[in-house]
Amino acid sequence: MVEKVKRIWMDGELIPWEEAKVHVLTHTLHYGLGVFEGIRCYKCVDGRSGIFRLDEHIERLFQSARIAQIEIPFSKEEIKQACKEVLLANGLEEAYIRPLVFIGEGVMGVHPYDNPVRVAVIAWRWGAYLGEEALKRGTRAKTSSFVRHHPNAMMTKAKICGNYVNSVLAKREAVKLGYDEAILLDPDGYVAEASGENVFLVKDRVIKTTPPTTILPGITRDCVIKIARDRGYVVIEERFTRDELYIADEVFLTGTAAEVTPIREIDDRPIGNGVPGEVTREIQEIYFKVVRGELPQYRHWITYL
């Protein structure tokens, strides 16, 4: 259960949590065309709270809206301000922030015509996405029976609400079968992404990740690529198959919610020694320092409250 906070920002105002409701004729509720973001705010080493890569997340929100042909009735600056306001209004030092742009009620039928575009920014406390244990010891994943989107069916560069039906189905299937997470293949059979994360592998100390073609190009993915290259690692963006994961030395997932989560087993095959690898642990450790403002060269990624 999401732990309730006091206020939610909705259509330009901070309103009580209980009042942030919508009508059942909300267009997005029926047809799934809406866009959203997921952002984390961390309590930094100097005691201040900092929103991690706020500019990039809001930029992607507007890009998602452009792809989905939704006109957001607020400026990027106003949405960024709203993200800060929900944290301050709720006294949240660390939180997950969810800006959501959706089409409201008006006409029904798939064409939303000029139904109002509505915006909510919600913040809540959210711990480790796949659990504390997964961060430490790694998680168990299953290649999904569901295929990730063909870009001409659902455009993956946009974080569109409806895209997540595929994620929900895959995740539910994996959990039902006793795994923690689902890895989805693209329509050509190559690894695409997990239900809510990007996928990385390490082989002979070379790091590989899916090219940003049929995936959501994650902001955490971008951080990890930069951090790894700065540490002297070679990072390749190239398609790979599920069996390349099986014989990798290490595999890990990245996402705002999941942060850097090691994978210790895929489809009942242990990855490497079946424990988080050295490179994964190094990247994870640096990532947690970066988000908390411990490393000056990455501090420009943080918007302090």
Of positions 181, 186, 197, 250, contacts ligand PPE by CB under 6 A: 197
Q: Does 166 bind ligand PPE (CB under 6 A)?
A: no
- CB of 278 closer than 8 Å to CB of 154: no
Of positions 64, 220, 280, 284, contacts ligand PPE by CB under 6 A: 220
Stretch that binds ligand PPE, among 219-227, 229-237, 260-268, 281-289 (CB under 6 A): 219-227
Stretch that binds ligand PPE, among 107-115, 215-223, 273-281, 283-291 (CB under 6 A): 215-223
Q: Does 64 bind ligand PPE (CB under 6 A)?
A: no
Q: Does 180 bind ligand PPE (CB under 6 A)?
A: no
SS3 (DSSP) at 236:
strand
Residue 144 or 167 with smaller CB distance to ligand PPE:
167
For ligand PPE, the binding residues in 232-261 under the rule CB under 6 A are 254-258
For ligand PPE, the binding residues in 142-161 under the rule CB under 6 A are none
Of positions 80, 118, 221, 264, contacts ligand PPE by CB under 6 A: 221
What's the rounded Cα separation, in Å, for the pair 73 and 39? 20
Q: Does 193 bind ligand PPE (CB under 6 A)?
A: yes
Q: Which residues are catalytic?
A: 159
- CB of 119 closer than 8 Å to CB of 72: yes
Stretch that binds ligand PPE, among 2-10, 14-22, 134-142, 218-226 (CB under 6 A): 218-226
204 CA to centre of own chain: 28
Q: Does 28 bind ligand PPE (CB under 6 A)?
A: no
- CB of 36 closer than 8 Å to CB of 104: no
- Min dist CB 215 to ligand PPE, Å, is 6
Pairs from 243-247 (Cβ < 8 Å, separation ≥ 24)? 244/191, 244/201, 244/203, 244/208, 245/183, 245/191, 245/199, 245/201, 245/271, 246/271, 247/203
Residue with tokens 């390349």, as numbered in its chain: 244
Among the listed residues 167, 231, 170, 178, the one whose alpha carbon sits nearest the alpha carbon of residue 202: 231
Which spans in the chain are helix H? 27-31, 54-68, 76-89, 132-137, 164-176, 219-230, 242-246, 278-291
Residue 140 or 221 with smaller CB distance to ligand PPE:
221
Q: Does 58 bind ligand PPE (CB under 6 A)?
A: no
Among the listed residues 218, 224, 235, 216, the one whose alpha carbon sits nearest the alpha carbon of residue 291: 224
Q: Does 186 bind ligand PPE (CB under 6 A)?
A: no
- Min dist CB 114 to ligand PPE, Å, is 29
Q: Does 276 bind ligand PPE (CB under 6 A)?
A: no
- CB of 129 closer than 8 Å to CB of 257: yes
Residue 23 or 176 with smaller CB distance to ligand PPE:
176
Interacting residues toward ligand PPE by CB under 6 A:
38, 167, 193, 196-198, 216, 218-221, 254-258
